[in-house]
Amino acid sequence: MSDLLYSDTEEALRDSVRRLFADRCPPESVMRAYDPAPHDFSDVWHALAADLGMTGLLVPEDLGGAGASAREAAVVMEEIGRAVAPVPFLSSAVLATVALLQAAGTEAAETVKGLAAGSLTAALAVPLSTAPDDAVAGVAVSGSASGLTGRVTSVAGASDADVLVVPVTGPDGLELHTVSRDAAGVDVSPVLTLDMTRPLANVEFSSAASSRVGDARAEDALRAALETGAALLASEQLGIAQWCLDTTLAYAKQRKQFGRAIGSYQAIKHRLADLWIEVNSAAAAARYAADTCARRDDDARIGAAVAQAYCSGAAVHAAEECVQLHGGIGMTWEYPAHLYLKRAKSDQLAFGTPYRHRARLADLVDLPVS
Give whichever of 334 and 366 is closer to another protein, judged by the CB atom.
366
Give whichever of 208 and 311 is closer to another protein, judged by the CB atom.
311
**Among 21, 45, 310, 335, interactor with another protein by CB under 8 A:** 310
In this chain, which stretch among 102-110, 138-146, 195-203, 260-268 interacts with another protein, using CB under 8 A?
260-268
**Among 5, 104, 184, 194, interactor with another protein by CB under 8 A:** 5
Residues facing 140 on adjacent strands: 149, 169
Cα separation, 267 vs 252, whole angstroms: 11
Q: How far is the CB of 6 from another protein (least distance, A)?
A: 11
Dihedral of alpha carbons 12, 16, 18, 22, sign: positive
In this chain, which stretch among 91-99, 162-170, 280-288, 345-353 interacts with another protein, using CB under 8 A?
280-288
Binding to another protein (CB under 8 A) within 222-251 occurs at 249
Cα separation, 3 vs 338, whole angstroms: 34
Task: Work out whether 191 is an interface residue with another protein (CB under 8 A).
Answer: no
Cα separation, 124 vs 346, whole angstroms: 18
Give whichever of 147 and 263 is closer to another protein, judged by the CB atom.
263
Task: Work out whether 144 is an interface residue with another protein (CB under 8 A).
Answer: no
**Among 65, 263, 336, 352, interactor with another protein by CB under 8 A:** 263
Task: Work out whether 287 is an interface residue with another protein (CB under 8 A).
Answer: yes
**CB atoms near residue 67 (< 10 Å):** 14
* Interface map 317-356 toward another protein (x if CB under 8 A): --------------------------------------x-
Q: How far is the CB of 92 from another protein (least distance, A)?
A: 29
Task: Work out whether 267 is an interface residue with another protein (CB under 8 A).
Answer: no
Give the CA-trace dihedral at 73, 78, 84, 89, to 10 degrees.
Answer: 10
In this chain, which stretch among 15-23, 26-34, 166-174, 303-311 interacts with another protein, using CB under 8 A?
303-311
Binding residues for another protein, rule: CB under 8 A, are: 2-5, 249, 252-253, 260-261, 263-264, 266, 269-270, 272-274, 276-277, 280-285, 287-288, 306, 309-310, 355, 358-359, 361-362, 365-370
